[in-house]
Homo-oligomer: A and B are copies of this chain.
Amino acid sequence: MPDLDRLFRPRGIAVVGASPDATKIRGRILAALKEGGYPGALVPVNPSHREVQGLRAVARVSDVAGAIDLAILAIPAEHVSSTLIECAVSGVGTAVVLSSGFAEAGPEAAALQKKITAIAAEWDLALLGPNSVGFLNADACIRATFSPGAQSAPVRAVKTPRRAAIVSQSGGIGFAIFNRGVARGVGFNLVATTGNEAGVTTLDVVDYALKLPDTGAILLFVEGLRAGRRLGQIAGDAAEKGVPLIIVKVGRSAAAHRAAISHTASLTGSEALYAAAFGHHGLLRVEEQDELIDLAAAFTACPPAGGKRIGIVTITGGGGAWLADRLEAGGLEVPELDRATQDEVRRFIPAYGSASNPIDTTAQALETGGRIKSIEALDRAADIDQIAVVASLADVGHLAPEREALMALNQRRTKPLVFASYTLPSADNLAVLDEAGVRCYTSFGGVARGLAALADYPTTRARVLARRARPTPKPVWFELPQGKGVVPEYLAAPALAKAGVPFPPARLARGPHEAAALADTIGYPVALKVQSRGLAHRARIGGVALGLHIRPEVEAAYGRVTEAGQRVTAEPIDGALVQRMAPAGLEMMIGLIGDAELGPFVVAGFGGGRVEVEHDVFTAPAPIDDVEALERLRGLKGASRLFDAPEPLDLVAFARLVAVVSAVGVAHDGRLTEIDLNPVVVYRAGEGVLALDALMVLKED
């Protein structure tokens, strides 16, 4: 892994293709770096000019002298790979490629991208892009981007204890989030747009941002995660540090899918797997830019919340009622205040105010300091976890009388505190709140989102850390069958049995008489199932005969099931599996999906013939252990059928098998694309489970 600190905090920067014309992208990037006040060496690289924007230019990267760590490439796509090699040879160890015309531009250009990926790997070059819009590092005074979102918004002085980082695959969106966050008083330490991710990926940058000293939240915009297998590790690191990962993932709709393929060449992964991975690893998923900021504002400016009980202070009954509605709709509580707090509050609000919750101080109490005193009372109240103030901040000078008190309050208070302005706040009021380290929301729903995230995060984090504290389940190895595509049950089951999956006794028969002889050995009743690489599902084509009790039945069935198979596949029929019929029990299922980007996922839940109708299963990234499997079973819609069964079921054995299958997926990640064990019959406690069928699908080795 190349050194990202050299990329994001270079000692010197070369801008390759820098133009004297600052209205062009090639010129704007240099101008932006100058305006940003970058203190290191800045070298334009342009063979046509001796000087660019007042800086001495060199003709080629190899002419660069001194400690230049980063080259920013604003040149046509066809010159990128040779320039990257030049960079590497000249000791410029990192590069940002702004150029487009790579994987997003069709198959031919995709080959160009593969080439630069290979160059970056060979030369250990930290490569951001191509199709990146650059990055911003606030502490290093680097605005290495031509994005108007970065330039129009000055980075406001931020007095919050922590700042947010932004990692976005789309450059326009990345700096738009920055643009909006700055307008709402959120401080940012790093904004990076990863574009096509030929080198540095989203998760690489997240890993880097987690190492910055004051990162309080990381905001992500992704269309698809490359190397998503690392998500668990990175999300665990984030939980360790108490830094929430707040993510927007697009590509859910058919239309979005088309756009993602044609634009960043990022293969949009299956929505269900992303949802499972985000949920499992504790990422906070939101849907809008404003929602990203709602959460970032809360996490960077507020101390951890003790819970979901919100105290409201308002100057208008209507606004207080509205916020209370929205908070409760968002899963929070607005409890009545205890008697002592109400009595206290009544002393500093007018008689026609309300000392309940919301506390309606009325506008009159502003002149007597009643609002600040109410906030302080809530900060002390035992049954309140967080505080929201409903105010009208359009009125210039509104907060001026409370300025000193707000600053003093911020030193003392122990609970999250936010303002919610129902009018659009004026600049001077925002400045007072900024100075006091308090964030201002302009939507009641936004307050609900922010405070609910604060309330829920400790639980989410604890869940991730508890998993991390348990030993990671070991991969379960066994020899996979040869070839690719469907592996018939007679080969799949013995392989899986070696991994610990229990099946009823079974053998392959290649003719009716052999089938009957095997049945005699195995014991009646038996099932007979046609076997062929061409047959993934056999029951519905008549390829399965169940409950055969005597030899003649077995002999007759052999012909039936193999002929049924022959009718639908041109692949050779290998014979029929003779399997002892298992006793009845609760029919569950366990499956495995190997995703190219996100890795293996285990699926488990209610099985049998109605699995697709009921659709009562959970999906989790592999591996998971028995503890987690049991926990997830409790979350199924039909959980009471499992846990409140009249006779206790062997859910311990079932959970163990889920863990085993997940560990099999990890061992054979990349090769195993699908396993279906359906049904897996669960017997009474202590009597175990049996997989009655096995389908396996392999990718080419």
Contact = CB atoms under 8 A, between A and B. Distances in A.
A264 interface: yes
A392 interface: yes
15 contacts: A104-B317, A104-B352, A106-B352, A169-B318, A250-B324, A253-B321, A253-B327, A255-B324, A255-B327, A255-B356, A259-B314, A263-B316, A263-B317, A263-B321, A288-B445
Given A149-B423, A262-B360, A445-B287, A251 B172 contact: no
Given A262-B356, A263-B354, 7 more contacts: A100-B352, A176-B392, A180-B423, A255-B336, A258-B356, A259-B317, A259-B358
B250 A325 contact: yes
A250 B152 contact: no
B288 A443 contact: yes
Interface in A334-391: 334-336, 351-352, 354, 356-358, 360
A115 interface: no
A179 interface: yes
Contacts of A290: 443
A262 B152 CA distance: 45
A258 B336 CA distance: 9
A203 interface: no
A329 B335 CA distance: 33
A157 interface: no
B223 A318 contact: yes
Contact of A325 (B148, B149, B256, B325): B256
A289 interface: yes
A114 interface: no
A288 B444 contact: yes
A4 B594 CA distance: 69
Contact of A394 (B152, B259, B288): B152
Contacts of A426: 152
A183 B425 CA distance: 12
Interface string A104-124: 111001000000000000000
Nearest to A178: B423
Contacts of A328: 252-256
B316 A172 contact: yes
Nearest to A259: B321
A312 interface: yes
Contacts of A170: 316-319
A260 interface: yes
Contacts of A173: 316, 318-319, 322, 422
Nearest to A350: B105
Which of A321, A324, A360, A396 is packed against the most chain B CB atoms within 10 Å?
A321
Interface in A235-259: 248, 250-259
A185 to B, nearest CB: 14
A478 to B, nearest CB: 41
A105 B317 CA distance: 12
B250 A179 contact: no
Interface in A157-184: 168-170, 172-173, 175-176, 179-180, 183
A424 interface: yes
Given A289-B422, A422-B172, A422-B176, A358 B443 contact: no
Contacts of A255: 312, 321, 324, 327-328, 334-336, 356-358
A221 interface: yes
A494 interface: no
Contact of A253 (B175, B325, B394, B423): B325
A553 interface: no
B148 A424 contact: no
Contacts of A221: 318
